Structure 1
C-alpha cells in the first residue's frame, strides 16, 4: 500500500486525547478502521512521558517506577473521534519478568505491526544516551519489512548539554542512513517540552493523510 504525504488544512487537537481501551493481543484491539500511530520503545526510554507531554496531560499514559510492568496495547482516541488514535505499545527489555513473558510480548508486538491495517506510522522512542539498542533495531527491521515510516524520538535530551545532544542526533542519523527513506529523527525532552510541535506535525501528516486504495 502506498502512502501519500498530506498537508492538512486542519490539525488534530492532541490535548483532547482520551483513553479508549486496552488489549493484550491483536484480537482484542478496536475495529481496524480509521488511522492510528503507535509509540514503541524500551521500557525505560520515556515513552509514557513522551505521550503525556504530546497530549499535554499528566497521566494519560501510565508511568511506572517499575519499567515494563504494563503488558497491554493501550489505545487513545483524539477527542470524540475514534477514527484518529494514538497507541501505546508494551515496553520491554528492562522489566524483571520471565524470558517467556518477554518472548510473548515480542510475538504480540510483531503481530500488531505486521497485521494492523490502520497503522500509519511508528514513533520509536530511544533514550538519547542509550540509542539503537537491540530492541530498537529489531523494531526498525519489522518496520522496514512492512514499508512502515518511523519517527525516532531521542528522549531525555535535557540530560545532555546542547552540543552533546546534537552530536548524538548526528551519530544516530548516520547509523540509520540505510533507512533514511523511511526514518526521520529528532531530539525530544518531555521535561523541557522540547520538540513537541515537530512531533505534532509528523503525527498530523500520518493521521490526516489520504491513503489510496491498492
Structure 2
C-alpha cells in the first residue's frame, strides 16, 4: 500500500461533532507520549502532519486524516496522563469511548504500547474494552530502536504476558528507523478490504 496525500479533514472535541462520512477508518490509540503522532507521520511520509511533542497529553482531540481521498487515519487522544485535570481526563475518555462504540466505519484499531515499558494497566483495560465490543485490533510496540538486543528478543513474549494473551498480533515499530511501517500499512490494507 502506498500513501500519497494525507490531509487533516476534521478535529473533534465533543462526540456530537464526529463526522458522518462514507469513508472507512482505522484508529490509533495508546497512552500519552507512546508515539501515535510519530507513527502517523511515518505512515504518511509527512513529519509535519500530526504534532509531535515530548510533553505528554498534547493530542486533546480526535483528528481525522483523509488518505488519498479514500479512507481515514484517526488519531485518538492519549490516555493515562496524570498531569491533566481529572475533568479533562474524563472528557477524553468519554470522547474515545463514544468514538469506538459508535463508528460503523471503523475497521481496525492499532493499540500502541511503549516497547520499553510493556502494557500498562490502562493498555490492558483498553484491550479488554476492545475485546468486549468486538473491535478488531493490532498491537504496535513503539520505540523499538531504543531496546537492547536482549530486550528485543523477549519483546513479543513480554507483551503477550502483559496482556495475558498469546494470540495478539504484535508489530515492532520505530519512527526513527521506520521499522514496521510496511507491516502496519499491510494491516491497514487488509482491514480496509475486509
TM over 0.5: yes
Whole-angstrom distance in 1 between the partners of 2:33 and 2:120:
12
Match of 1:63 among 52, 60, 85: 52
State which drifts further: 155-164 or 36-45.
Answer: 155-164
2:20 alignment counterpart: 31
5+ residue gaps, structure 1, are 1-10, 210-214
Distance 1:138 1:175 in 2: 11
8 Å contact from structure 1 (residues 110, 142) kept in 2: no
Deviation at 1:177, TM superposition (A): 5.3
Structure-2 residue corresponding to 1:76: 65
Q: Which SS does the other structure have where 2:77 is aligned?
A: coil
For the structure 1 residues 175 and 43, does the alpha-carbon distance in structure 2 shift closer, same or farther, using more than 3 Å as the test?
closer
Where 1:104 maps in the other structure, the secondary structure is helix
Q: Report the more deviating stretch, 197-206 or 141-150.
A: 141-150
State how far apart, in whole Å, the 2-side matches of 1:196 and 1:163 are. Answer: 23
Moved over 4 A (4+): none
Matches within 5 A, 1:1-214: 11=1, 13-81=2-70, 84-94=71-81, 96-176=83-163, 178=165, 180=167, 183-209=168-194
**What are the Cα deviations for residues 134-173 of structure 1, in whole angstroms up to 9, with x where unaligned?**
2211211111111111111111101012331120222212
* Contact residue 165 and residue 187 of structure 1 kept, 8 A: no
SS state at 1:145 partner: helix
Secondary structure of 1:14's aligned partner: coil
Higher relative contact order (CA 8 A, sep 6+): 1
- 2:185 aligned counterpart, secondary structure: helix
Matching residue of 1:4: none
Gaps of 5+ in 2: none
TM-score for both structures, normalised by structure 2:
0.93
The alpha-carbon distance between structure 1 residues 176 and 93, as it changes in their structure 2 partners (threshold 3 A), is closer
Q: 1:179 to 1:73 in 2, by over 3 A?
A: farther
- Deviates further, 168-177 or 31-40: 168-177
Change beyond 3 A, Cα 1:91–1:108: same
1:48-93, Cα deviation, whole Å (9 max, x unpaired): 1111111111121111232112211000011133xx1100001132
Q: How many residues align?
A: 194
What is the root-mean-square deviation of aligned Cα atoms in Å? 1.6
